[in-house]
Structure 1
């Protein structure tokens, strides 16, 4: 049986019709991962629609268990740098 490994940090991004249009956060996370060549990579996961379209884009950050609404690069930057 193979062992499943889990990331230390992960960002779940809603990929619904409204949230999926906001690509700047995903681009920022990919940039962070390239610049910080460590084991502390942040994995990005797409979620199905979170049904919170009025608050798009929705981002969920683990392990801190934080949900962001109307997320932008600055909000994610502050969260990641904690």
Structure 2
């Protein structure tokens, strides 16, 4: 049976851009490229997810992570 990649969604709406989603995307790309995560995840940029006041937003395994940063992202990816 094939191994499927998991999806990581990052909001790139205007309010999330103001709160640092570009930095979060850059950090996510770096984390995904490391050996222990390589090839397991697909990073997807989305439009507004309607969590504007608590951005940047990351969605992984149907879990919405508000005010996400590199530390929270690593914790969630290592858990899953």
Q: Indicate whether the TM-score tops 0.5.
A: yes
Deviation at 1:70, TM superposition (A): 0.8
Residue 3 of structure 1 aligns with which residue? none
Structure with greater helix share of residues: 2
Taking the aligned partners of 2:32 and 2:57, their CA distance within structure 1 comes to 20
Structure 2: unaligned runs, 5 residues or longer: none
Which residue is 1:39 aligned to? 39
SS at match of 1:39: coil
CA distance in 2, matches of 1:47, 1:19: 11
Matched residues in 2 for 1:20 and 1:46: separation?
12
The 2-side partners of 1:78 and 1:30 are apart by: 15
What is the aligned residue count?
73
For residues 39 and 13 of structure 1, what CA distance do their matches in structure 2 show?
A: 18
* Alignment check: 8 A CA contact 1:14 1:48 kept: yes
Two-structure CA RMSD over aligned residues (Å): 1.7
The equivalent residue for 2:27 is 28
TM-score normalised by L of structure 2? 0.76
TM-superposed deviation, 1:35: 2.0
Give the one of 43, 66, 71 matched to 2:63: 66
Structure 1 stretches lacking a partner, 5+ long: 1-6
Kindly indicate whether the alpha-carbon contact (under 8 Å) linking 1:24 and 1:73 is maintained by their aligned counterparts in 2: no
